[in-house]
A and B are shown apart, each in its own frame.
Chain A
Amino acid sequence: QSALTQPPSASGSPGQSVAISCTGTSSDVGGYNYVSWYQQYPDKAPKLMIYEVNKRPSGVPDRFSGSKSDNTASLTVSGLQAEDEAHYYCSSYAGSDTVVFGGGTKLTVL
């Protein structure tokens, strides 16, 4: 049950695209197509942005997309907007009905 690895920070200018990586192992990210991404503003609850690697819940802008290759999943935010500045966390199914989160990435819109 080791945490997934995310870069501590990422940044981009308005209108640009930025990708945030989430690296695990063959026991979690690489073993299942069950990766989720959450957006969290300071002192707020997380919000689900992507589930099952690349599916968007209703109401999430299509500027947010997810993908996965081997043991690494990625969240791409296109057409960056000021409101996208937040922390982003990935999570993955880790077998035996357990879940593991990444350490989180602070996205800054320059």
Chain B
Amino acid sequence: QVQLVESGGGVVQPGTSLRLSCAASGFRFSSYGIHWVRQAPGKGLEWVAVIWYDGSKVKYVDSVRGRFTISRDNSKNTAYLQMNTLRAEDTAVYFCARVGYASSVDGMDVWGQGTTVSVSS
């Protein structure tokens, strides 16, 4: 079945790095863009980044630009989020989601179960 599975979360200290992975199955991964969306404890959803189906374009929310890097390896059906210089405010559950419709990057039709990142000293 169509599925996204995140991994790589954990507890880290401020200023350190972490790389999240998003493994896809059940669909042609190389044909779809991928988003990362996060949700801080008890808070709402926040869009973080998007990568085009072929990796040709990436976009970020202002608060992570320059610290986070989104990438993908279509040969491994996997997208990544490299997070550097982590801050306490990056603590959240991180979801990856598929861009569902060619008309716009909005409209995320498949979501993973999320992986938890906790930044604390």
Chain A interface (Cβ < 8 Å from any Cβ of B): 1, 3, 32, 34-36, 38, 40, 45-48, 51-52, 57, 89, 91-93, 96-104
Q: Cβ of B59 < 8 Å from any Cβ of A? A: yes
Query: What are the residues of chain A within 8 A of B101 when measuring CB–CB?
Result: 51-52
Interface size, chain B (Cβ < 8 Å): 26
Residue in A97, A102, A104 whose CB lies within 8 Å of B57: A97
> Which residues from 67 to 106 on chain B have a C-beta closer than 8 Å to any C-beta of chain A?
95, 97, 100-101, 103-106
* Across-interface contacts of B35 in A (CB, < 8 A): 99
Q: A52-B103, A97-B57, A99-B35 are in contact. Are A38 and B45 (CB under 8 A)?
A: yes
A91 to chain B, nearest CB (A): 6
Q: Is the CB of A34 within 8 A of B106?
A: yes
How many contacts A-B (CB < 8 Å)? 79
From the candidates A40, A51, A96, A101, name the one contacting B47 in the complex (CB within 8 A).
Answer: A101
**Other A-B pairs beyond A36-B107, A45-B111, A102-B44, 10, CB < 8 Å:** A35-B106, A38-B45, A46-B108, A48-B100, A51-B109, A52-B107, A91-B45, A91-B106, A93-B105, A98-B61
- Across the interface, A93 reaches (CB within 8 A) one of B62, B106, B114, namely B106
Q: Are B107 and A100 in contact (CB under 8 A)?
A: no
A93 lies within 8 A of B44 (CB): no
